[in-house]
Structure 1
Amino acid sequence: YIDQNRDVSPLRKASDALLLDNSHLSISQQKEWLAEQFERVIKEKN
């Protein structure tokens, strides 16, 4: 919260950023999600 609301250079999410809500995911599930997103983005770029 503090970084997003500071007066100078507030922290902002990039327009093309991916958001992973890992509240209920294991580390293994997070890795799997990341690998899937990586593959999807690479395929879109090629």
Structure 2
Amino acid sequence: MHKRVGKIHDERNLFCYFVDFINVNNALLCSSHIVISNLRWEQIK
């Protein structure tokens, strides 16, 4: 089982980190998730 070591910067990245921790093949999806989350975060801030 591949485990990717990383740091969760904040709760917005928790889901993405968790998914990538399970399956490194989700790295690209994870990156897209972060971008979308950050855009939404900026809108509601």
Q: TM-score normalized by structure 1?
A: 0.49
Identity score, percent: 13
Deviation string for 1:1-42 (max 9, x for gaps)? xxxxxxxxxxxxxxx723213124611100010001000000
Q: Return 5+ residue gaps in structure 2 as ranges.
A: 1-9
Extract structure 1 runs of 4+ deviating beyond 6 A: none
Q: Return 5+ residue gaps in structure 1 as ranges.
A: 1-15
Matches within 5 A, 1:1-46: 17-18=11-12, 19-20=14-15, 21-22=18-19, 23-24=22-23, 26-45=26-45
Number of matched residues?
Answer: 30
Q: What is the Cα-based RMSD across aligned positions, in Å?
A: 1.9
**Rg: which structure is higher?**
1
Q: TM-score normalized by structure 2?
A: 0.50
Structure-2 residue corresponding to 1:3: none
